[in-house]
């Protein structure tokens, strides 16, 4: 798990512990994980963990009880901890969780990587629902199959074969209730306790938790503006032998980076060589601003090592929670077995409703208008950022901007101040808790707020950051 070359290994463990103590994951006088259990969790030597604990002991962050272990030292009173008993405050002090941060109510909402409901074709759905119930009068009294509605699976397979050269059949598609369920189903099907899972750094926070709860040991590979370090990936695959490499190569969450075509071609070859399965999460493939992104990695996989997740939840109709796993036949029995235990099949009404929309010209018209609207909002947010000394990479699509603030600004503490002024964003440590520099980074979603809200909310955010 600890792979930051800018810090010594024990320093990375120190940072890992400090982040969680400050976030309240371990309370004052609460016992911390043993040296042995923490070394197994992080995939480092016990002496490394011991040295980290000794460092924290010298700093006064932890204390030792003889023959019992390490405990969290009481903190000095501060405005944050003084309010920790207030449910309204404690709900967002734990900013290590994406779900917790996104649950915060704020007038200026930059934490939700979702589409502003005003940009969705809401009135059309009422008409479509009435027509659908006329067409399928018994629909509400019918269950879906575990794998999903055959009509919808056939339509998705045909569409992706025509547009992306997937060469799929309906039997190679499994419908899920959103991309997060797809990740969970794949994890429970493929990953066993003790398996290693390779992930990007930074990465989608809930995916980390899903694989951790499955008992996986996480290892990380860096992502840069020009893509992956394939030499690093090959070295990790060779040494660590990960079971799975989970990735978001198109408009990566949170950085917005696109992995270049050449790397997409090479990754399946590495996966085959080292016996690793690629899990390609594609939740915003259709949200591009100028040029369509490169073809998915799945397109270049000739040996069947890639499982592809395509979600339509975020930008077509969030309430239906429609996503799909595309994979070769050998994976399907295991995936179906897990899906059966999860919910025995996604709701048929949702699938049929989405199918009617997917097959209509309205969807493609909607996507064209949506891309234009989101690009305008992204440009407004960039105009605000240009007034600062922050750094960021302009996204070519997706829903977010990943920004880095000057040294001395902690985005977790900044969030505390911003919430007092009804501004929400996601601190960088949610996506990369092991990186010391992540505390200066944040993800800003431009998709949920309109232009005026972006201008006013960013003005507040920037002013608060400058005075932190």
* Torsion sign over Cα 151, 155, 158, 164: negative
Do 26 and 72 meet the contact criterion of CB atoms below 8 Å apart? yes
% the chain with pLDDT above 70? 92
Count of CB atoms situated within 10 Å of the CB of 378 = 24
Half-sphere exposure of 10 (CA within 13 A, CB side): 13
Tens of pLDDT, residue by residue over 290-343, are 899 999 999 999 999 999 999 998 887 788 899 999 999 999 999 999 999 999
Give the pLDDT of residue 76: 47
Burial (CB < 10 A; 0-12, 13-18, 19+), residue 181, is buried
Q: How confident is the model at residue 75 (pLDDT cuts 50, 70, 90)?
A: low
CATH of the domain at 66: 1.10.10.10
- 271 and 166 assigned to the same domain: yes
Strand locations in 300-433 (E): 306-311, 322-326, 391-392, 400-404, 423-424, 426-427
Longest dimension (CA), the chain: 73
Region label for 26, one of left (φ > 0), alpha (ψ between -120 and 50) or beta (otherwise) = beta
pLDDT at 85 over 50: no
pLDDT at 398 over 50: yes
Give the pLDDT of residue 7: 55
DSSP string, 277-315: EEEEEESSTT-BSSSPPPPPHHHH-SSS-EEEEEE-TTT
- 109 and 206 assigned to the same domain: no
**191 by DSSP, 3-state: which?**
coil
- Which whole number is the average pLDDT over 409-423? 91
Give the pLDDT of residue 447: 95
Instruction: Name every residue whose Cβ is closer than 8 Å to that of residue 408 and which is 6 or more positions away in sequence.
Output: 468
Q: How confident is the model at residue 24 (pLDDT cuts 50, 70, 90)?
A: confident
CA–CA dist 102, 301 (Å, integer):
35
- 236 and 108 assigned to the same domain: no
Give the residue numbers spanning the domain of 327. 122-360
Asked whether residue 2 is domain-assigned, the answer is no
Of 335, 360, 385, the one marking the end of a domain is 360
Asked whether residue 402 is domain-assigned, the answer is yes
Q: Residue 445: which of 376, 378, 371 has the closest Cα?
A: 378
- Which whole number is the average pLDDT over 108-128? 87
Q: How confident is the model at residue 102 (pLDDT cuts 50, 70, 90)?
A: low
Of 360, 387, 410, the one marking the end of a domain is 360
Count how many domains the chain has.
3
Q: How confident is the model at residue 100 (pLDDT cuts 50, 70, 90)?
A: low
CATH of the domain at 453: 3.90.1150.10
- Asked which of 104-108, 229-233, 278-282 is least confident by mean pLDDT, the reply is 104-108
- 215 and 290 assigned to the same domain: yes
E strand or H helix that includes residue 268: helix 261-274
- 93 and 66 assigned to the same domain: no
CA–CA dist 151, 146 (Å, integer):
14
Asked whether residue 134 is domain-assigned, the answer is yes
Of 360, 393, 425, the one marking the end of a domain is 360
Beta bridge pairs of residue 424: 109
Asked whether residue 314 is domain-assigned, the answer is yes
Q: Residue 280: which of 247, 254, 310 has the closest Cα?
A: 247
> How many residues would you count in the chain?
468
Asked whether residue 248 is domain-assigned, the answer is yes
- Which whole number is the average pLDDT over 417-439? 89
Instruction: Name every residue whose Cβ is closer than 8 Å to that of residue 35 and which is 6 or more positions away in sequence.
Output: 46, 49, 50, 53
CA–CA dist 404, 254 (Å, integer):
12
pLDDT at 262 over 50: yes
- 378 and 305 assigned to the same domain: no
- 418 and 401 assigned to the same domain: yes
pLDDT at 434 over 80: no
- 330 and 382 assigned to the same domain: no
**442 by DSSP, 3-state: which?**
strand
Compute the mean pLDDT over every residue in the chain, rounded to the nearest whole number: 88
Strand locations in 332-434 (E): 391-392, 400-404, 423-424, 426-427
| pTM for this entry | 0.78
């Amino acid at each position: 798990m600890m792979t930051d070359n800018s810090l010594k290994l024990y320093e990375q463990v120190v940072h890992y512990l400090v982040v969680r103590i400050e976030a309240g994951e371990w309370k004052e006088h609460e016992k911390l994980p043993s040296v042995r259990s923490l070394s197994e969790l992080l995939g480092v030597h016990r002496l490394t963990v011991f040295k980290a604990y000794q460092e924290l002991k010298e700093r006064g962050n932890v204390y030792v009880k003889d023959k019992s272990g390490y405990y969290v030292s009481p903190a000095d009173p501060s405005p944050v901890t003084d309010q920790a008993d207030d449910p309204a405050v404690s709900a967002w002090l734990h900013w290590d969780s994406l779900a917790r941060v996104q649950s915060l109510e704020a007038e200026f909402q930059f934490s939700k990587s979702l589409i502003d409901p005003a940009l969705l074709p809401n009135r059309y759905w009422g008409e479509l629902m009435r027509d659908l119930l006329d067409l399928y009068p018994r629909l509400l009294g019918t269950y879906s199959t575990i794998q999903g509605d055959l009509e919808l699976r056939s339509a998705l397979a045909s569409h992706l074969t025509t547009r992306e050269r997937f060469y799929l059949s309906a039997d190679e598609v499994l419908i899920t209730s959103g991309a997060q369920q797809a990740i969970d189903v794949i994890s429970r099907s493929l990953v066993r306790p003790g398996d290693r899972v390779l992930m990007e750094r930074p990465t989608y926070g809930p995916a980390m938790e899903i694989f951790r709860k499955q008992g996986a040991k996480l290892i990380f590979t860096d992502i840069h503006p020009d893509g992956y370090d394939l030499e690093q990936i090959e070295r990790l695959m060779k040494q660590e032998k990960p079971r799975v490499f989970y990735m978001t190569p198109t408009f990566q969450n949170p950085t917005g980076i696109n992995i270049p075509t050449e790397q997409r071609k090479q990754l399946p070859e590495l996966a085959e060589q080292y016996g690793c399965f690629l899990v390609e999460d594609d939740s915003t493939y259709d949200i591009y601003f100028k040029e369509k992104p490169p073809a998915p990695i799945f397109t270049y996989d000739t040996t069947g090592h890639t499982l592809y997740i395509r979600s339509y939840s975020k930008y077509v109709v969030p309430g239906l929670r429609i996503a799909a796993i595309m994979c070769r036949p050998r994976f399907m029995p295991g995936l179906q077995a897990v899906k059966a235990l999860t919910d025995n099949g996604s709701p048929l009404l949702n699938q049929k409703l989405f199918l009617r929309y997917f097959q209509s010209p309205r969807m493609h018209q909607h996507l064209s208008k949506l891309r234009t609207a989101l690009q305008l909002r992204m440009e407004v947010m960039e105009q605000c950022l240009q007034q600062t000394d922050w750094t960021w990479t302009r996204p070519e699509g997706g829903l977010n901007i990943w920004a880095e603030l000057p040294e001395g600004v902690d985005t977790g503490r900044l969030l505390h101040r911003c919430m007092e002024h009804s501004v929400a964003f996601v601190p960088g440590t949610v996506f990369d808790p092991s990186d010391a520099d992540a505390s200066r980074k944040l993800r800003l979603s431009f998709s949920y707020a309109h232009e005026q809200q972006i201008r006013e909310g960013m003005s507040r955010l920037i002013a608060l950051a400058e005075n932190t």
